[in-house]
Structure 1
Amino acid sequence: MARLNMTGVLAALMLLTAACGFTPVHAPGGAGQALYDNVLVQAPNTKDSYFLVRHLEERIGRGSGGEYRLDLTLETEEEGQALTLSNVITRYSIVGVATYALVRVADDVVVTKGTVENFTGYSATGSTVDTFAGERDARERLMVILADQISSRLYATQGLGA
């Protein structure tokens, strides 16, 4: 009996989402279809932007002659977070802010734009090699997070479907 009720609830939810005009991102005519492999992402110029672009291209494709261009501005800042009694920093946070603009190439119209921000951290209590490896890993994790945020916002953009 409980199984039947759950099935009924799921069916009702599906009808409600269909009634409100919900279209899955990767459905025919959805924003996913309009964007995937159709966006030329700005070339990276730093290690951080390389990781950001790489992860963005994993999510939205690598459109070389696409209909859209994605312009990016990336800023990162490292902040000390934990101090010992002798004022030695033992933990760092890296804050990243990425500003993006999706531009339609045909007429240079900005389709959508925005800013995403997040942070990651790493420990500085091990050896120098451990600390450098931790920083590199934290920076790459931050770029993955920012790429996920940007691609989610791009896919949520209205008016991209066919």
Structure 2
Amino acid sequence: MSSSSIIPRRAALLGLFALAGCGFAPVHGGASAARGRFDFDTSDTVAGFRMRAQLERRLGAPQAPQYLLEVRQTAPRRPAAIRSSGVTVRYNLIGTATWRLRDVASGRVIDTGEVEGFTSYSGTGSTVATQSAETDAAARLSVTLADMIVTRMLVLLQDAPS
């Protein structure tokens, strides 16, 4: 073992000890504390269903909810690549999810916010292939937006008084 490989290893170990000593804790480590504490109100649409499914996957199904998370999302389709003939061959779905977190007991709004994301899909195949690609892209977008919201919820829980 050369001395040059020992130095980075020592630096990495010292860095880990420093992080442990400062009280560093990853935000996603607190996800188990959030499980079952949220109820969800999403749109009665396919996108809303996908959003709710991902929120439940990450935050757990409501058991004894303390919070109500209301989410509404939009995802307009926009052309992203157009051939010189005028045919669109690629589309973007630009998604926005607006959320509001309420305390179940009091009904008080704790926080509100908005997250944005996008995904793309190809429109060069058959009609069925393009529709399938759009459906898949919408599902990916719902998961992405839900994950962004979950990250915010975990930060809020860490900052909230116990």
The alpha-carbon deviation at position 161 of structure 1 amounts to 6.5
Letter matched to residue 93 of structure 1: N
Instruction: Report the secondary structure of 2:14's partner residue.
Output: helix
* Greater mean deviation of Cα atoms: 135-144 or 57-66: 57-66
Aligned to 2:101: 102
Scaled by the length of structure 2, what TM-score is found?
0.85
Q: Matched residue of 1:66: which SS? A: coil
Secondary structure at the aligned position of 1:156 is classed as: helix
Amino acid at match of 2:18: L
**What pairs with 1:114-153 in structure 2 (closer than 5 Å)?**
114-153=113-152
Q: Does 1:24 align with 2:26?
A: yes
How far did residue 3 of structure 1 move?
5.8
| 1:25 aligned partner, one-letter code | V
* Residue in structure 1 matched with residue 61 of structure 2 by the alignment: 62
Residues 34 and 160, structure 1, Cα contact 8 Å, conserved in 2: no
Q: Which residues of structure 1 form unaligned runs of 5+? A: none
Looking at structure 1, the residues matched to 4 and 108 of structure 2 have their Cα atoms a distance apart, in angstroms, of: 52
Q: CA RMSD in A?
A: 2.1
Q: Deviations over 1:64-86 (max 9, x none)?
A: 43111101121111101111222
Unaligned runs of 5+ in 2: none
Q: TM-score, normalised by structure 1?
A: 0.85
Q: For 2:60 and 2:87, locate their aligned partners in 1 and report how far apart those are by CA, in whole Å.
A: 43
Paired letter, 2:141: L
Task: Say how many residue pairs are matched.
Answer: 159
Contact 2:42–2:51, Cα closer than 8 Å, also in 1 = no
Please tell me the residue identity of whatever aligns with 1:12: L
Structure richer in helix, relative to its length: 2
- 1:132 offset after TM fit, Å? 0.5
**TM alignment of 1:30-69, pairs within 5 A:** 30=30, 32-69=31-68
Give the direction of change, closer, same or farther, for the CA distance of 1:85–1:102 in structure 2 (3 Å limit). same
Counterpart Cα distance in 2 of 1:99 and 1:10:
40
